[in-house]
Structure formats: C-alpha cells, structure tokens
Amino acid sequence: MKKSLPALAVLGAFASLAHAQSSVTLYGLIDEAIVFQSNAKITAATATTAGVGGRKFFLDSNTGLSGSRWGLKGAEDLGGGLQAVFNIESGMNINTGGLNQGGLEFGRQAYVGLSSKTYGAITLGRQYDATPEFIGPMIFADQIGGVSSALPGDLNNANNTQRINNAIKYTSPSFNGLVLGGLYSLGGISGEAARDQIYSFGAGYANGPVTLGAAFLKANQPNTSFFSNGALGSGSLAAGGQSITTGNNPVYGGYVNANSYQTAAAGGAYAIGPAHFAIVYSNTKFQNLQSGLSGLTTSTTGPQGTAVFNAVELNFVWRFTPALQAGGAYSYTRASSVQLGKTKTSGGADYNQFTLSTDYALSARTDVYLEGIYQTASGVDSTGGVAVASINLTSPSSNNHEALVRAGVRVKF
C-alpha cells in the first residue's frame, strides 16, 4: 500500500496537469428587439385583405445585431502546439422557446478537429464557408447593421444565412496578417461524387488599418445541398412569426432549381482614427436553371439558362466614444434578365437598400441599439412578377418599397 502512494501522487499530478491544459466554455448571447415593419404583405389565405401590405409590430430575437444563440466550445492541449478543438452552437428564438436554422438542435455550427499554431486547423462537421469568414467582417451586417441589413436574401451568403453540412475545412495560421482557408463538403451520393458537393476557398489580409478579403463558393444542386441547410431551408419562423422558405423568397426563390450556385466576392476596409470604411462587391450565379437534379418541379416555360446577380455595398462606422458608435450603409443589387422558354426574356430586377444604425454599450456584456432600413425594388423578380422589396429574413413587401425599424438590447454571456 505504501508503495502505491507515490504512483497515486504522480497520477494525480498528471490529472491536474491535463485538467489545467483543457477547457470547455459555455457561451452565448440574447438579442431581443421591438420591430416595426411598414409594408408586410398579408399572406393568410383566410384574410380578406390577402396580398395587401400592412404595418406590423412584433418582438424578434432572430434578426438583430446578432441572432440569439448558445454554445459550447473546448480545446485540449495534445502537446507540441497541437490541440483538439470542438464547437457546437444552437440558434434560439427566445419569444417561442424554439430552435432556429430550420429547427436544427445545433444549426449554427457543430464541428470537431485539430488545431496547430504552426500548421493551421482542420475541422469536420457543419461549418461556415469562406464567404462569411473572409467577407463577412467587412459588411455592415457583421458590424452594427444587423442581419436585416445584409443583401436581399443574403444572396452571397456573406452574413452566413446558410451553413455547410458534411464539411472538411482547413484554415491556415497567419502569415504576417495573411490567412488562407478552404472547405469541401462531400455529397455522399453513391456513384456520383460530384452530386450535392460544395467547395469554397478564400483569403484574408489584415495589417494595421487595412483589411482585405476574397472568397469563392460553388454548390452543386443547391436546393438540396445548400439552401436546405440553413435558416430558410425547411421553413423557419422569420421576423414577425411568418414562415419563410427559400422557395418563396422573391429575390432568387424562382432560381433555386438551378444545377449549381456560385458566388465570388471581394472587399476591402480601411480604419482611420474613429472612422471605419468598407466596400464589398459580389457576383452570384444560379447556373443551368430548370435542372432535373434539383428535386423541384421544372418547366419548359420557366426561367432558363443562368441568372446573375451583381451587388456592391458601401458602409462606414464612426466610434464617437469607446461606448458609442454609429454608421450607415448603402447596397445596390442588380439581377440580370433571364430566358423564358425559347422565345421570351424576363427583365431583371434592381434593389436599393439604405441602413442607419447606432449602438451604445452599457457595459462590457450589454448594449442597446437602434437601426432603420429602407429598401426599394424595380423590374421583374425571380418569380416572374413585379419585383417587391424584400429585406433580408423579413416577410416581403406587397409593393416596391419597405421600411423596418428595430430597437433592441443585447446581452452576452
């Protein structure tokens, strides 16, 4: 028995060391607001005014500066600068107690992997692609604009509306401010390696006041591989409690029967004193419309060929004090015309969006904010109808303009 005491002491020391070099963190935030929407289209089939726009006031915890969430993340030191890492994160609607991201338990992200300070990180699971990683930090939505200030329908995914399932992801260490990354999602279809596959890659550079980024994403059969995995996939409750799916998003819902979806984006930001300025450009394509592999009903008279969206966003943020900041953004999105059948074409659509937002920190963990968004639309949208305003993750307008005002509070833990 006496001989075993030193051994027990050694084992205890190793156990304490292992415990000290491992960590698991519970974290999250709650973002709740009162929202006013000026012209939400009434869609209930039993309503006598269906199709007409109406004002709407509601509580929302999904589309603020940050969607409400909680998560667990951890790391274990394996020696030699190598760590085992994991992260599981769930979106939540505090007004209903429900889950976001189509009701997925850990819909925001869920992955495990290995990370090295020398060689970078490889992670496996449900993850973000390169666009929100390298372009996201430069858009107004990721600063103080909130989810609703992203492009209509977040069509370039810079605001990470869609996550990638079954993904293998690599992120390099920083090379004097330069970071590279790539992702590949296995389609998992027997005998068809390219079916439902997704790949994405990008780069970011940050040095002093300058930030640059570029990213590319391509998804085969996007209706099943990409758009069915996110907030709009299986019909989630959007702002105001209305069920929204990708298919009834008028901006690009009529194009999700494409055989492939791809987006390329680049941007830059510059900080000078209390001011921060950024510009982001993206080109998004829905290629080979009316694909029989999309899982959707196709039509010989519906949109054919390729639908192209070109978008640019300009934004600025001014920090008046360490606690108070305010800013604004303007985005312009142009959708190309598409072929209808063999003889007709459908004119494209234009979306202009203006956002103003201010945020005040009451403490290191709690802030209050106020934002306003106004959007106009013109032309013909993806459904073949007159284009209507469609602020991101908000029920579409009944006509070509719409305003949204949000006053909220955010608490981090």
Place of tokens 């959708």: 335
Which amino acid, residue 53?
G
Q: Please tell me the distance from the alpha carbon of residue 354 to that of residue 352, in angstroms, as a whole number.
A: 7
Segment of 56-60, 222-226, 321-325 carrying the highest mean pLDDT = 321-325
pLDDT tens digits, one per residue of 358-380: 999 999 999 999 999 999 999 99
Domain ranges of the chain: 22-412
Structure confidence at residue 230 as a pLDDT band (50, 70, 90)? low
Q: Which CATH number, 2.40.160.10, 2.30.29.30, 3.40.1440.10, 2.70.98.10, labels domain 22-412?
A: 2.40.160.10
Closest alpha carbon to 235 in 395, 36, 38, 71: 395
Tokens of 108: 């925001």
Predicted local confidence at residue 341, as pLDDT: 75
Given a cut of 50, whether residue 338 has pLDDT beyond it is yes
| pLDDT given for residue 229 in this prediction | 66
Read off the pLDDT of each residue in 2-6 and give the average, rounded to a whole number. 44
Name the least confident of 10-19, 67-76, 173-182, 393-402. Answer: 10-19
The model's pTM is: 0.88
| Structure confidence at residue 296 as a pLDDT band (50, 70, 90) | confident
For residue 18 the two structure tokens come to 């292992």
Radius of gyration of the chain (CA): 23
Q: What angle is formed at CA 134 by the lines to CA 413 and CA 177, rounded to 5 degrees?
A: 95
Three-state SS at 10: helix
**Model pLDDT for residues 165-189, shown as the tens digit of each residue:** 999 999 999 999 999 999 999 988 8
> Looking at residue 188, what is its pLDDT?
82
